[in-house]
Structure 1
Amino acid sequence: MATPAFEEIAETFDFLDDWEDRYRHVIDLGKAFPPLPDALKVPATKVEGCASQVWIVPKIEGEGATARFDFAGESDAMIVRGLIAVLHALYSGLTVAEVGRVDAVAELGRLGLNEHLSSQRSNGVRAMVERIRRVSAEAAAQ
C-alpha cells in the first residue's frame, strides 16, 4: 500500500542503476524537504534511537481511524533528512488506520535501502517508523 509519491520514488530508483546515484537522489529529496522550525526541535519531538539528531512532528487532521496523517521532520544529517522525505512520501496523506497497515520494511526494501544503509542508519529508520506508527495508532484510537 504505497502512496503515489512513494511509487514515484520507487520508479526513480528503478531507473537509477548505480547505488551512488540513488544515494544522491535520497540526499536531493532531503534538500527539497521543508525545514523544521527551530521551535519544534524539542525533546518531545526528538526520535530516540537514531545516530543523528532527528525530529518528527506529526500533523493529524480529523479524528478517529479516518483522520489523515502527515508530519514534518528534520535531521542534522543530509542522508537522514532524505530518509525522512522518503518516509514522508510513504505515509503522508494516508488515514491513521492505513498507516498501521503499511509494511515499511517491504516498501523500503523495494528501494534497496536495507542493503545499503549502515546498521545505525537502519536502526534510525526503524525508530522513525515506530514513532510514526505509534502516533497514528494513538490517533486512530481516539
Structure 2
Amino acid sequence: MATAAFEEIVEDFEFIEDWEDRYRHVIEQGKAMAPLDDALKVPATKVDGCASQVWLHTQIEGQVFRFDGDSDAMIVKGLIALLQKLYSGLTLAEVLAVDARGEMERLGLNEHLSAQRSNGLRAMIERIRETAAAALG
C-alpha cells in the first residue's frame, strides 16, 4: 500500500537502470524538499541510529499523518523525501499498515545502501511508526 506520489517514484525507478543514476535521482528528490526550519532541529525531532544527522518533524491533523525532515547528508535527505512520498497524507492506521521495507525494496535500494544508511533508514521508519502508534493511543 503506497501513496500515488510513491508509485510515481517506483515508476521513475523502473526506467532508471543504472544504480548511479538511481542514486542521483534519490539525491534530487532531497534537493527538491524545502529545508526544515532550524528551530525544529531540536533533540525531540532528531532521529538516533543514523550515521548522519536526521530530524523528522511530524504533524498530525485529525487522523492524517504528515512530516517534514532534513539531514546533513544529501543521500539521507533524499531517503527522507522518499519516506515523505510513502507516508505523508495517510491516516495513522494506514501508516502502521505500510510495509515500508517491502515498498523500499521495490526501488532496489536495499542492496545498494551501506549498512549504516540501511540502519538509518530503519531508524527513520521506526520513528514514523512509533509516532503514528502513539498518536493512535
User: TM-score category by the smaller chain?
Assistant: over 0.9
Q: Is 1:58 aligned with 2:46? A: no
Q: Residue 40 of structure 2 corresponds to which residue in structure 1?
A: 40
Residue 134 (structure 1) aligns with: 130
Counterpart in the other structure of 2:76? 80
Deviation at 1:120, TM superposition (A): 0.1
1:140 Cα deviation after fit: 1.3
Deviation at 1:34, TM superposition (A): 1.0
Determine the structure 2 residue equivalent to 1:30. Answer: 30
Taking only the aligned residue pairs, the percentage that are identical comes to 70
User: Partner amino acid for 1:29?
Assistant: Q
TM-score by length of 1: 0.96
Matches within 5 A, 1:80-119: 80-119=76-115
List structure 1 runs of 4+ shifted beyond 6 angstroms: none
Instruction: Give 5+ residue unaligned stretches, structure 2.
Output: none
Residue 65 of structure 2 aligns to a residue whose secondary structure is strand
Per-residue Cα deviation, 1:105-128 (whole angstroms, up to 9, x for no partner): 100000011110000000000000
RMSD: 0.4
How many pairs are equivalent? Answer: 137
**CA distance, structure 2, for counterparts of residue 10 and residue 134 of structure 1:** 25
CA distance in 2, matches of 1:46, 1:128: 10
Shift of 1:132: 0.1
For residues 116 and 90 of structure 2, the distance between their equivalents in structure 1, rounded to whole angstroms, comes to 28
Q: CA separation in 2, counterparts of 1:51 and 1:108? A: 19
Q: CA deviation at 1:18?
A: 0.4
Distance 1:138 1:44 in 2: 15
Structure 1 residue 136 displacement after superposition: 0.3
Q: Give CA deviations for 1:65-91 in whole Å, capped at 9, x if unaligned.
A: xx0000010000000000000000000
Write the distance in 1 (CA, Å) between the matches of 2:36 and 2:100.
23
**Structure 1 residue runs without a partner (length 5+):** none
